[in-house]
Chains A and B, each alone.
Chain A
Amino acid sequence: MTQSEERPCRPEPEVSRVGAPFWEAARNGKLIIQHCRSCNENIFYPRIRCPKCHSDALDWIEASGKGVIYSYSVVQNNAPSGFLADMPYVVAIVRLPEGVQMLTNIVDCDPDSIHCDMPVEVVFRQVENFDLPLFRPAGNK
């Protein structure tokens, strides 16, 4: 995730009111998701109201940090400006055992070794002023 001086920076998350606690936890190396006290639903990304029952009784729980790759794609050319210096990089949708899905990047491995349904674990990496939740192959310390 190096950044060339001449290139535009990676875009930072436009932090929402309800998303702010997520990014604060990420700064402390914790992956948290919302939990609805009313209907027991786990929720990601953070919502203003529970998308299942519309309750505002939303708590945060810490996720296990484990997941599996639902799908992935290795960006090799024609990336958005802020990502040109990062090519090749891996965009992936990861399914967490808590029942939610998130978009992320897969890091710390050869892109050719990645496959669908591969077990992965969260790792936080600082990009600009944020710690982004990225994933690497499980057990790959």
Chain B
Amino acid sequence: MSRLKGDVAVAGIGEVPTGRYPERDCMDGCVISAVQAIADAGIKKDSIDFVIPCGTVFSSAYNSDLVTSRVVEELGLKGIHNNAQVFSGGASSASILKVAGSLVESGIARNVLCVHSDKLGTGLSGQAGIDLFAYAGIHREWEVPFGQHYSSIAGLVTTRYKHETGTTDEQITAVQVSNRKWAELNPNAMFRKPLTIEEVMASKMLSTPIRAKHSNMLADGGAAFIVTSAERARDLTDTPVYVLGSGGRVTHHSLSQEADLTRFGYADAAADAFAEAGLSPKDIDIAEIYDSYPIFELIALEEMGFVERGQGGAFFLEGRTWPGGELPTTTNGGMSSQGHTGGGGGVAILVEAFRQLMGKAGERQVPDARFAAVSATGGTYVDAQIEILGNQIS
């Protein structure tokens, strides 16, 4: 059963603020967050031997730079054996952690720098952003010709979920309010002003029942983390974060081919992750749930076993996920409030889990947090990826 549990750890993190930063080059996000992560881990830069740059969406030319080791050159890393991109859209965070952890566990790598940066906020015009997300991951023969895009995808999932569970628009909107409560406390978030249900419900309708303020906001941002062995992490830092369990399920490529729009693969993925960790949802102090639209945060929280099916909306509406609530959820503000940086939206949520478990989350620090559950999903919500992390070995 044991795979990476207790053998692999994260020793350091870095992140640049997310938002609209036209003056910031995309590479700035990579380099600055990597430098922070290296300093945070207290590791010598030349002892890093593997770099995993996450895929970048806004520019294929920039992504080619990442594939061909530009980060290694920019950072002057002299001990690198491999630079290899790992990318599975919004689920890249989970894939990178699994790959980096396996490299360390197998001995192929000792210290892995995992880094992401994108410029979806200012690197693309507004309509170009909409059009990119009418193609990216959407079947060009069987879905694109019918006007499918990410707002209609969220609309299709939300409509069916409401039909089956009786959840209301107000309850679904409560997810946005909860995320914003956390973002108010996050200096790296794009939107930090208080948000009300009324404000979301008054915003323009995009694709029923999804309104503008149910949507994530494309943004510039970058983040990094260092994966190493648990033993080296303990030598390097007082605040290692251990990988305790992971699970995943891929259920479709095209949304129309998904058998259950209201569940996806979260239940099985979470069951695997909890089993490996030897923990259950009641042991978890923080749920860092991938949002991008509120319905996916709601479904994941329910299917992972934190709240009964159909009760998630009320759970958010009652403030049980807010700062001070019984289950602090998506404590960086998620993609709706921190901003959506492509493959980095999930990386930011994963880095937030590390930050909380390291006790470095400042004003929004969850007191005495020991264990966190993290979700991610990519493309048209093609997969459900779950990681269980802890600042102690379970």
Binding site for B on A (CB under 8 A): 10-16, 19, 45, 70-83, 86, 89, 91-93, 101-105, 111, 115-117, 127, 130, 132
Contacts and interface: CB of A to CB of B under 8 A. Distances in A.
Contacts of B130: 78-81
B332 interface: no
B2 interface: no
Given A13-B140, A13-B141, A70 B160 contact: yes
26 contacts: A10-B145, A12-B145, A13-B144, A16-B141, A45-B139, A70-B261, A71-B160, A71-B163, A73-B152, A73-B158, A73-B159, A73-B209, A76-B205, A76-B207, A78-B151, A80-B147, A81-B131, A91-B148, A91-B156, A101-B256, A103-B139, A103-B142, A104-B146, A116-B163, A117-B163, A130-B145
Nearest to A93: B256
B257 interface: yes
Contact of B206 (A10, A14, A45, A77): A77
Interface string B126-166: 01001100100001111111111101101111111001000
Interface of B: 127, 130-131, 134, 139-149, 151-152, 154-160, 163, 204-210, 212, 254-257, 261
Given A91-B207, A93-B256, A103-B143, A79 B261 contact: no
B210 A80 contact: no
Contact of A73 (B131, B208, B212): B208
Contact of B147 (A77, A101, A105): A105
A20 to B, nearest CB: 10
B141 A19 contact: yes
B206 A91 contact: no
Given A75-B147, A79-B149, A80-B134, A45 B142 contact: yes
A70 B148 CA distance: 15
Contacts of A91: 146-148, 152, 155-156, 207
Contacts, number: 123
Contacts of B206: 75-78
A107 to B, nearest CB: 11
A73 B149 contact: no
A12 B144 CA distance: 8
A79 B147 contact: yes
Contacts of B158: 73
Contact of A80 (B131, B139, B140, B208): B131
Given A15-B141, A19-B141, A89-B147, A73 B156 contact: yes
Nearest to B129: A78
B152 to A, nearest CB: 4
B336 to A, nearest CB: 16
A101 B143 CA distance: 12
A14 B139 CA distance: 9
B207 A75 contact: yes
Given A70-B261, A76-B206, A102 B131 contact: no
Contacts of A80: 130-131, 134, 147, 149
Nearest to A132: B145
Contacts of B149: 75, 79-80
Nearest to B151: A78
A11 B154 CA distance: 21
Contacts of A79: 130, 147, 149
Contacts of A130: 145
A103 B148 contact: yes
B140 A14 contact: yes
A11 B256 CA distance: 18
A75 B163 contact: no
Contacts of A72: 155-156, 159
